Amino acid sequence: MQVVIITGGSSGIGRGIAEAFVKEDAQVVIIGRNKEKLKSTVQAIGFNCVWHQADVSKRNEVTEVVNFIVQQYGNIDVLVNAAGFPRWLTTLTPLDEAEELWDEVLKRMKDKR
């Protein structure tokens, strides 16, 4: 069984992806900030979907959740990042720079609310 992590999995595209992976018998872990949205999404999706609360703009929270998931399931097969929209980011971007860009995107998203 594949283990799939989806950030931003409690709504929109992330939720749709979570539902599709569950239909394919994957173990899906959705990650987000809003505990109530996470809970209601898992209840709606059902079996093979669990949630963990974390703010992806905070590296320490992501590290803790990922470590827990690996400890729980042994591995992660698929990572879907559906939280936010990272511009100007490539696989060659240094981690510190990528984190700064990511934080900037999330700040703009929060400011729009």
Q: Quick: pLDDT tens for 40-73.
A: 999 999 889 999 999 887 889 999 999 999 999 9
Contact by Cβ (8 Å): 9, 54: no
**Protein fold of 3-82:** Rossmann fold (3.40.50)
Quote the pTM value: 0.76
The yes-or-no verdict on residue 28 having pLDDT over 70 is yes
Predicted confidence (pLDDT) per residue in 92-110, tens digit? 888 888 888 778 777 776 7
Question: Contacts for 39-48 with beta carbons within 8 Å, 24 or more apart?
Answer: 40/10, 41/9, 41/10, 41/11, 41/15, 45/15, 45/18, 45/19, 46/22, 47/22, 48/22
CA distances from 96 to 8, 99, 112 (A): 22, 5, 25
Percent of the chain with pLDDT over 90: 62
Closest by alpha carbon to 50, among 27, 70, 74? 27
